[in-house]
Structure 1
Amino acid sequence: MSLTLATLIPGLLLILLGVPLVLNHSGYTAMLKAFPRSTAAAYLFFGAGAAWFLYAIWNLSPADFGEYRTYLFIGFLIVAVLSFKCVPDFLAVRGLAAVVLMGAMPLLQAAYMEYDKPQRLLMVSIVYLALSGAIVLGAQPWRLRDFFSWLFAQPSRARGIGGALAAYGVVLSIVAFTY
């Protein structure tokens, strides 16, 4: 993946997350409030995160426990399938965390050793912030529900955070074309 694309993707995602918050779109607000316990979102995000992780397990090199990949694959597949039955609460949040964790690697690899391009740090910073959030939410997924309750308690909070997300997304989208 090129550094331009690796910077443009988070920029566009931030714009897509921020603009509906700025516009105070009621459908978007309802969707965000329902997201943590949504069964459809759980199937989408946890399914995508599990599939991506299992793909990575299946393609392990011999130096990375590749000779045990079949056992690892089967073990993690069983855990993923049983997650839908045994821990369905907040599975969408855990799935989103898995997608963020898996998606960060190609973005960070694109910026690796690109020391002559300091503007890459704008992308890397937001990716590390997302990684930190994914780790916290993976361990304590109910915090996303609590965050949404706090966020939508006052419309100015949602607009302010949405504006900040959209503005940073615009900055990243512009920076993507400066490499």
Structure 2
Amino acid sequence: MSLSLLSILLATPIALLALYGLIRSEEFKGHLTAFPRSNSWGYLLMGISTVWFLYLVKIEDISDFESYKRFMMFGFAGIGIGTTFFVRDLLAARGAAVLMLLVAKLMVDTARWIDTDARLAIVVWAYIMVIAGMWFTISPWRLRDLLFWLAKSDRRLKGALCLLLTWSGFILVLAFSLYRTPSA
């Protein structure tokens, strides 16, 4: 996947979500505060994360783990499925956190070989997602608290949404300009 395409696929949904939040603020607040405890979002995000992680384990070619790969696949599948059914509290927050880590890996892997300093926008974003993903995996209630804190104030929420819209716009500009060069 090219860095341009990845940037478009990441920035477009964020921009659309931010626009939705700015246009329908009250409705968006309801969705925002319901998200961390949503079982349907939790099942979806944990399912995607588990399948994606298992795929990454399957294609990994580190010879030290080759003889253990089958056990690792079963173990990680059990952890993903077990978490989905036995740790339902804040399941969507946990699923979002794991997905942040996987998306960040894809971002860094895609940007690694691009010969422009503009790739650092994606790399820095990825590392911010890694920190957030680890933090929210360890303590998913912090994501819930953050979303509630944002939803508590119209000014705070609109400021955060404007920041997301600006950031996604910046990434889209990079996607259609610097990331479209032959080296990218």
Per the normalisation by structure 1, the TM-score is 0.91
Separation in 2 of the partners of 1:7 and 1:84? 30
Report the counterpart of residue 120 of structure 1 in structure 2.
119
Within a 5 Å distance, the mapping from 1:27-38 to structure 2 comes to 27-38=27-38
Structure 1 position 40 matched with structure 2 position 43: no
Taking only the aligned residue pairs, the percentage that are identical comes to 29
3-state SS of paired residue (1:89): coil
Structure 1 position 154 matched with structure 2 position 160: no
How far off is 1:24 after superposition? 4.2
How far off is 1:64 after superposition? 5.1
How far off is 1:57 after superposition? 1.8
The superposition leaves residues 23-61 of structure 1 with CA deviations (integer Å, 9 ceiling, x where unpaired) of 243332211111111110111001110111112222232
**In the alignment, is the contact (CA less than 8 A) between 1:18 and 1:163 conserved in 2?**
yes
What amino acid is aligned across from residue 132 of structure 1 in structure 2?
A: I
Separation in 2 of the partners of 1:105 and 1:148? 24
What amino acid is aligned across from residue 153 of structure 1 in structure 2?
A: K
Separation in 2 of the partners of 1:130 and 1:21? 21
Within a 5 Å distance, the mapping from 1:15-34 to structure 2 comes to 15-34=15-34
CA 1:19–1:83: 2 relative to 1, 3 Å: same
Separation in 2 of the partners of 1:96 and 1:11? 17
Per the normalisation by structure 2, the TM-score is 0.89
The superposition leaves residues 57-108 of structure 1 with CA deviations (integer Å, 9 ceiling, x where unpaired) of 2223242512211101111112222213321111111111111211222221
3-state SS of paired residue (2:117): coil
Separation in 2 of the partners of 1:119 and 1:13? 21
Report the counterpart of residue 60 of structure 1 in structure 2.
60
Report the counterpart of residue 95 of structure 1 in structure 2.
95
RMSD: 1.6
Report the counterpart of residue 104 of structure 2 in structure 1.
104
**In the alignment, is the contact (CA less than 8 A) between 2:100 and 2:133 conserved in 1?**
yes
Report the counterpart of residue 165 of structure 2 in structure 1.
166
Paired residues, what number?
Answer: 178
**In the alignment, is the contact (CA less than 8 A) between 2:93 and 2:144 conserved in 1?**
no
Separation in 2 of the partners of 1:68 and 1:139? 26
**In the alignment, is the contact (CA less than 8 A) between 2:105 and 2:126 conserved in 1?**
no
Within a 5 Å distance, the mapping from 1:126-141 to structure 2 comes to 126-141=125-140
Deviates more, 1:139-148 or 1:103-112: 103-112
The superposition leaves residues 98-156 of structure 1 with CA deviations (integer Å, 9 ceiling, x where unpaired) of 11211222221121143x41111122222211121111001000011111121111101
Could you list the runs of 5+ residues in structure 1 that have no partner in the other structure?
Answer: none
